[in-house]
């Protein structure tokens, strides 16, 4: 009788990648939330959490879409009148820039930069009335996921030129 070796396969516990805080520069704009997100990685790949109905910061679901950009591309400015945005960069790196132009806001006139992406995986929740845009940086194509609280409505969004003098922000790379 020949004996064959028996191999038991056991799945190693998945290694959770600890949430990293997003790097934010400038004033924290009133109502904006930055939530570290969980990634569960193993040798097969990973699961990247973004938003679920049981999250304390979940406010509603309208649609999810992906904004994609080549390195160096600026996608700005956008202002949503009633929609809350929930942004996370799932591939690449982006500098998300927010401007508070809301009259009466305690942070009126403030600019906030948030660097997010693969090495700083987080959700940025942007309330209505905050002007926002992003610049893809690094050497990879950027995929920014947005889970919006309303379906797209062209009458709900205001598009503003990325180089308008009305917003005190310059998109070029700052050295030093």
Q: How far is CA 71 from CA 33, 59, 96, in A?
A: 26, 31, 14
pLDDT of residue 24: 55
pLDDT of residue 53: 95
- Whether 98 contacts 131, CB under 8 Å: yes
Termini Cα distance of the chain: 75
Q: Domain 22-36+56-159 is of which CATH architecture?
A: Sandwich (2.60)
How far is the C-alpha of 54 from the C-alpha of 98, rounded, in Å?
A: 27
Domain chopping of the chain, boundaries? 22-36+56-159
pLDDT of residue 118: 85
pLDDT of residue 174: 86
pLDDT of residue 138: 96
Q: In the Cβ-directed half-sphere of 16, how many Cα atoms lie within 13 Å?
A: 6
- Whether 42 contacts 14, CB under 8 Å: yes
Q: Which two tokens stand for residue 104?
A: 């009466």
pLDDT of residue 2: 40
- Whether 78 contacts 158, CB under 8 Å: yes
Burial (0-12, 13-18, 19+ Cβ within 10 Å), 29:
buried
Q: How far is CA 20 from CA 76, 80, 102, 123, 131, in A?
A: 26, 28, 30, 11, 25
pLDDT of residue 23: 52
Burial (0-12, 13-18, 19+ Cβ within 10 Å), 154:
exposed
According to DSSP, the residues that pair with 98 across neighbouring strands are: 112, 132
pLDDT of residue 161: 98
**Tens-digit pLDDT string for the chain (176 aa):** 443 332 222 223 334 444 444 455 556 999 999 999 999 999 999 999 999 999 999 999 999 999 999 999 999 999 999 999 999 999 999 999 999 999 999 999 999 999 999 889 999 999 999 999 999 999 999 999 999 999 999 999 999 999 999 999 999 998 98
- Whether 94 contacts 150, CB under 8 Å: no
pLDDT of residue 11: 29
């Amino acid at each position: 009788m020949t004996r064959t070796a028996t191999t038991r396969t056991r799945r190693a516990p998945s290694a959770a990648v600890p949430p990293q805080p997003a790097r934010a520069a400038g004033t924290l704009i009133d109502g904006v939330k930055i939530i570290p997100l969980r990634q569960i990685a193993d040798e097969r790949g990973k699961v990247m959490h973004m938003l679920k109905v049981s999250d304390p910061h979940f406010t509603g679901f309208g649609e999810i879409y992906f904004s994609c950009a080549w390195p160096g591309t600026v996608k700005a400015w956008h202002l949503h009148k009633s929609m809350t945005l929930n942004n996370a960069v799932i591939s690449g790196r982006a500098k998300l820039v927010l401007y508070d132009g809301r009259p009466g806001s305690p942070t009126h006139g403030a600019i906030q930069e948030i660097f997010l992406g693969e090495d700083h995986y987080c959700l940025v929740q942007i309330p209505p009335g905050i002007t926002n845009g992003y610049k893809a940086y690094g050497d990879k194509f950027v995929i920014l996921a947005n889970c919006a609280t309303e379906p797209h409505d062209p009458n709900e969004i205001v598009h503003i030129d990325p180089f308008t003098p009305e917003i005190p922000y310059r998109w070029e790379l700052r050295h030093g």
